[in-house]
Structures are given as C-alpha cells and as structure tokens.
Amino acid sequence: MYRAAFPVAALAVASLIATGCRTPSAPAPSPEGPADAGPAGPVTFTRHVAPIVFEHCATCHRPGGSGPFTLLSYDDAARRARQIAEVTTSGFMPPWLPEPGFGEFVGERRLTDTQIATLAAWAESGAAEGNASDLPEPPAATDGWALGEPDLTVSLPAPYTLPADGPDVFRNLVMPLPVGETRWVRTVELRPGNPQFVHHAIMAVDDTTSSRRREAEETEQPAQPGFSGMEMGLAFMPDGHLMGWTPGMAPNPGIDGLAWRLDPGTDFVLQLHMLPSGRPEIIAPVAGFHFADAPPSGPPLYLIRLDADHLLDIPPGDAAFVVSDAVRLPIDVEVHAVYPHAHYLAKSMEGRATLPDGTERWLIRIDDWDFNWQDVYRVREPYVLPAGTTLSMRFSYDNSAANPRNPNDPPRRVRAGNRSSDEMAHLQLQVRPRREADLVLLRESLYRDAIRRNPANPWSYYELGNALLEQDRLDEAARQYLAGLAADPTHVPSRNSLGAVRERQGRLDEAAVEFQAGVRLDPGFADGHFNLGSVRLAQGRLEDAADHLRETLALEPAHAAAHTNLGHALRELGRLDEAVTHHREALRLRPGSAEAHNNLGSVLAVSGLLGEAIDHFQRALRIQPDHLQARRNLELAREIVAELERAGLR
C-alpha cells in the first residue's frame, strides 16, 4: 500500500532576519491582568533585563541559534534596547501565535505585561548595565543535545549548499539509518545545520527505496544531495507522530509507551525549507535518535485532520473569506497536540470541540496568523474528548491589498495547493484512542466524512477501503476502491488494494488484472510487482511469477517477502541452488522469523542437505514451539536420516 492518504503538511517558521514589512498587531492581554509600569527604581540589564532575555530570547538569539544576532551580553542587548522594546510591546516577539485562555500548551513563548513594561522602561531610561554581581548565570551552551546524548546520530555524507539567490528552496535529504535489527524510537532531535537559513523542517521515514531512487533521478546541476520539491513521495510520519523542527521549538521528549517501529533498511528523509541569504550557505543537518527499551503499549497515536482545502477559491480583494469543517468523533480520544496550518493569506483560526452535552472546549484560537511563526502545539495536560464530540474549525483569509503579508501585488485569485503561494486550510489533532480496537472505527468515520466533503478525492475512498478491509468487510472495501478508480482511473493505490481484495476472495484472475494495470501505470511500484508475482505463483505461472518477483527485488532489494516467494517459485522450477540463496537472504532480513527458518529448512532438505535442514527446523520451533509445519518437517527429515543410516548411505 502507499503510505499516506494526503501529502504531509508543511511546518513553517522564520527568524527575525526576514521580518521587514510586517505591521504587528497589539499584544493580547496578559493572564496577569492590566499592564503595570514595571519595577520601581532604576531598571538595569543585570538585575531586571537579563533574566527575561535569558529565559525567553536566548533560545534563538545565541551563537549558532536561528536568530540573526545574539543577546547574551550587555553590549549585544544594549545596542538593540529600543528594538527589543518595540517588538515586545507590539507582540511581535517572542513569536507565539495562540491566544491566551484558549488552550494551554507546552513551551508557551509569551511575556507578561510586567516583563514587557520592564523592557520598555529599560530602553527609555538609557539601557543601564547595572552591577555585575546581579547578573544571573547565562544559559548553558547548546553544543550538547537538549535531550541528552542520542543512541544514534545520522548525517549527510556531504553537506547541501544553499544557493545564494533565487526563491525559497524545498529539499528532501535522504539518510540511510544504520540499524541491523528492529528498534523502537522514542523521539528524534534535529540539529538543522545553519539554522538562521532553515525556515522549517519535516522529518519522515521511508521503508522502501523510493526516496533513494528519486535522489538518483535528480537532475540538478551541480549535483546536490537529496531531491527537490514539497512532495515527499512514499516517506511518511510513523504511527501518528508529528515530527518537525522550527526555530525556537523545544524538542519533543517523546511519550512513555508510544515509541514507533524502525526496521532495518529504513531511510530518514528530512525536508528542509530554506531561505537564500545572498551568498552560498552550507547546510549540514544532524538527527539524533533516542530509542525506547520496549515496543509501544496500548493504542497508538493517530492524526485527525479537519480539511477545508476544497473550499479554497479566494477572489482578489476579498478581505474576509471564511472556510470551515467539522467531524464527529465515534469513539473516545485523548488529545496530545494541535497543529493548524495555512499559508500567507490566513488571518484567524479557531478550533473547538462541542461535547455531547452541548458544552464547548477550545482546541486553539489564533487571531493574528503568521505563516512565518507557526508551530506544533503540544497540550500541557492531555485531555479526553468523549464519543459524540464534534470537532470544528473556522479559518478566515485576507486577500486584499491591505494585508501586508499578501505575497501578490496586486492580489490574485488563490486556490488550494502545496506551493507556499497557494493556500491550505488544515487543523490536525494528535490523539490517542482509549482502546486500540477503536482506531479502525475512527478511521472509517473520518474517511466517510472526507468523501462527503470532497467526493472527487480518490485518496479518501482508498483509505476508507483500507479501514473496511482491515475489518474483513471485503465487498464493501472493493466498492470503495472502485469508487476511487471512478474518480481517478490512474490511482495506483486503489487498483493495487482492489487486487488484494480479489486475491483474498479467491478471484485470482481478476486480482492479476488489477495488479497488471497498477504496474503499467507505475512500473516503479515494487509492491505492485510483488503482488502480481505472488498471484502468478498461486496460479502456477512460475516463470512469470519469478520475473515480477525479480523486478520487485531490483526496486527493493530488502523486500524479504519477495525473496521468500521467489525462493518458492525457483524451488518449483527445480532451480534449487537459486532457491536456497533467496531463502537465506529472507532469513538474513528476518532473523527472528520461524517461518523463514522453516522455508530455508524445506529447500535445504529437498537439496539433500538434511543436517542443516534439521538445524533450521529446530530453530523455527525454538522461536515458535507451535509451528506445526516445522515440527512435521523436522520429524520427516529425521525419518529420512534414520532410513539412510539403516541403509548405510550416511
């Protein structure tokens, strides 16, 4: 199957270096109440200002940080005292979009009224330094990792060189992960490499070779690592995890019991949005993986996405264009994070939960959206929304010439799309079902809603079909895949999954027709070749099966199941040495598989290598004592050995 129903939405944030023309809005009232005039008496850097700057500004404004200058010393801050007062009084700094009182989030970057007044008073009174003995300890250097030393670090073999000029750059950098066995990842911390010029980053994984192939096909000259564009292909964020980086964002420490699976052969795919600076810049990102000691326990995370993209058709001059969406929860969920997303024209965002008893709970509210300063907002304390809750979003857009963030002068019509000059209307919630069995019910409900919103989107039919297939509702699943193909006859995932349904129904000829159509449409789709080869094997068309299974392995050399099935086909064709080779490779890729040991043992026994065969049957039974086929094979192999010994042939 393909990995994602929708493109991964972009995260974005910019540094002060790119803030030239913004007209800031007034800051929201502080939770403290009305602003006061700041501290009584002389205001100094060492006693009053440094504590504020060190806590709230130094994350970005420090050597190697994403801010364009440092604020760790008196001289640095004093030179910019008036600027600091202006941007904090206006609410422009520190960057934090959610309104207070409409959701509580981890790492809120918001100054109190007293702190704002203190900074203003310091600038107005001449920016005095004060006594050195009053200076607090500066923030610790960030040479180390914020979450501690990682278990695994990965980087590019050679850095990426950001061109001096031109438009924003979206680059997908592919890094193989050197793991020899399945591991469980608690979290990933990113050092983006030259963060002043990295607008944001998205982290994903690819357990196929599709990203490597796209990198190899890249034609950019001179040659650079990675491939260009906002589309990440088959790379995906695993198990409902939101993995991104923005300037100032504290790394996510992970959640106990919710690690995600990392298998050998997986690539780390890092999409960087970068801003040319007028000179070439070297970008050398490093990712630190922190492993968990055990696999996840209980239900996994899941991303619910409210989506009004299909309503986005914003006329030029319209200063109050509004879109909305709503879905009803069929199950109880626990909310962990909120991620709203739009581009330059968005003005305000509202996310609400209306509970079954009619009471409302705010998910998030942003009155002054800024594409340059968005974030993933992790809730301070996860909370439960019961079944029957309605989730809703309402986004407004300003496509007038009066909008200082409008990238078009004069304004032009703007529709939905992946380019930053297009628009989006997404509100994602990271949730966890109360029961694992409920997740498929949630997916089914959400994709039925998606089809009602936009019946022309084949991905929604595909995902609904997958949810029904998971429940063994084969006829219903097939109807959804067919509906997706009616919307888009070239939609390979729907054709592939329809073939899988026909195969499970025993309709092998129909399954082969669908798989054949899929590989004609996408010759590089490894799983399509695998499925077609496997059906041909079941039909007894051994040479045809072997051809497609070899094609699978040419695309995905680490496809263990393709090695297994090719081994079966070659055994039936009497090419035992080749069959042994492929079964050995399948076992190397899945060393803990009882089935792989049994398969290798079987072909070794047929080849006359009974001693080694017996060893593998025994290993299969140590891994899985109730593996009946391995036990029968072991008994048969021992009987043959005994007969040969009685006959004096051993």
Contact 499, 508 (CB under 8 A): no
Instruction: Based on the fold, state whether residues 43 and 101 are members of the same structural domain.
Output: yes
Whether residue 222 is preceded by a cis peptide bond, meaning omega within 30 degrees of 0, is yes
Beta bridge mates, 274:
169, 198
Tokens of 601: 């043992």
Under a CB-based contact definition with an 8 Å cutoff, are residues 13 and 374 in contact?
yes
SS3 content of the chain, % helix, strand, coil (to 5): 35, 20, 45
The CB-based long-range contact list for 453-457 (8 Å cut-off, 24+ gap) reads: 453/307, 453/308, 453/310, 453/325, 454/309, 454/310, 455/487, 456/487, 457/310, 457/487
Dist CA 595 CA 649 (whole Å): 30
Tokens of 628: 């009946």
Residue 68, CB half-sphere, CA atoms under 13 Å: how many? 11
Contact between residue 330 and residue 442 where contact means Cβ atoms under 8 Å apart: yes
Domain identity same for 220 and 280: yes
Is residue 99 within 8 A of residue 110, CB to CB? The reply is no
- In eight-state DSSP terms, residue 44 is B
Token reading at 400:
């007038």
CA 179 to chain centre: 20
Q: For the chain, what is the radius of gyration of the CA atoms?
A: 29
- The CATH number covering residue 360 comes to 2.60.120.230
Q: Which residues contact 123 (CB under 8 A, 6 or more apart)?
A: 81, 82, 84, 85
Longest dimension (CA), the chain: 107
What is the rounded CA–CA span in Å between residue 616 and residue 56? 61
| DSSP for residue 267 | E
Amino acid identity for residue 100 in this structure: P
Q: Is residue 511 a part of any domain in this protein?
A: no
**Are 327 and 447 found together in one domain?**
yes
pLDDT on residue 235: 93
Distance CA 313, CA 28 (A): 31
Q: How many CB atoms neighbour CB 170 within 10 A? A: 22
Q: Quick check: is 547 in a domain?
A: no
- 3-state secondary structure at position 274: strand
Q: Is the dihedral of CA 538, 544, 549, 552 positive or negative?
A: negative
DSSP state of 173: E
For residues 252 and 174, state if they share a domain: yes
Q: Judge whether 430 and 335 are in contact, CB under 8 Å.
A: yes
Its sign, for the CA torsion 153, 156, 158, 162, is: negative
Nearest in space to 549 (alpha carbons), one of 539, 561, 538, 540: 561
Phi and psi at residue 558, to the nearest 5°: -95, 20
- Only one residue has tokens 């041909």, namely 536
Please tell me whether residues 319 and 406 are part of one structural domain. Answer: yes
Residues with Cβ within 8 Å of 214's Cβ and at least 6 positions away in sequence, in order, are: 172, 227, 233
The CATH number of whichever domain residue 639 belongs to comes to: 1.25.40.10
Sheet with 302-307, side-by-side order of all strands = 302-307, 426-433, 333-341, 377-385
Residue 582 lies in a domain: no
Strand 198-206 and strand 244-245: pairing? Answer: antiparallel
Q: Residue with structure tokens 């008036």? A: 82
- Of 134, 166, 193, which residue sits at a domain end? 134
377-385 and 346-354 beta bridge pairing: unpaired
Do residues 332 and 432 lie in contact, with contact meaning Cβ atoms separated by under 8 Å? no
Q: How many domains in the chain?
A: 4
- Residue 519 falls within a domain, yes or no? no
| 3-class secondary-structure state, position 231 | coil
**115 burial type by CB count under 10 A (0-12 exposed, 13-18 middle, 19+ buried):** buried
CA 273 – CA 11 distance, rounded (Å): 9
Do 434 and 308 lie in one domain? The reply is: yes
Q: Contact, 311 vs 331, CB < 8 A?
A: no
Residue 168 lies in a domain: yes
> Does the residue 526 lie in any domain?
no
The ranges of the chain with pLDDT < 70 are: 1-40, 64, 141-144
- Shared domain check, 383 and 311: yes
Domain shared by 441 and 393, yes or no: yes
End-to-end CA distance of the chain: 49
Assign 213 to helix, strand or coil.
helix
Residue type, 370: D
Nearest to 616 by CA among 640, 642, 587: 587
> What is the rounded distance in angstroms from the CA atom of residue 436 to the CA atom of residue 444?
14
Residues 127 and 157 reside in one and the same domain:
no
Of 395, 428, 454, which closes a domain? Answer: 454
Strands in 329-410 per DSSP E: 333-341, 346-354, 360-366, 377-385, 390-397
Q: What's the sign of the alpha-carbon dihedral 572, 576, 582, 585?
A: positive
Domain membership flag for residue 494: no
Predicted confidence at residue 109, as pLDDT, reads: 84
Indicate whether 287 and 346 sit together in one domain: no
- Strand order through the sheet with 169-176: 227-228, 169-176, 267-274, 198-206, 244-245
Same domain flag for 52 and 105: yes
Closest by CA to 499, choosing from 489, 488, 511, 509, is 511
Contacts of 359 (CB under 8 A, 6+ apart): none
Paired tokens of 349? 């965002």
Residues spanned by the domain of 600: 592-650
Of 454, 470, 500, the residue that ends a domain is 454
Say if residue 277 is exposed, middle or buried (CB neighbours under 10 Å; 0-12, 13-18, 19+). middle
309 and 449 share one domain: yes
Strand 227-228 versus strand 198-206 pairing type:
unpaired
Joined tokens for residue 229: 């564009």
Domain membership of residue 549 (yes or no) is no
Domain of 270, CATH number, reads 2.60.120.310
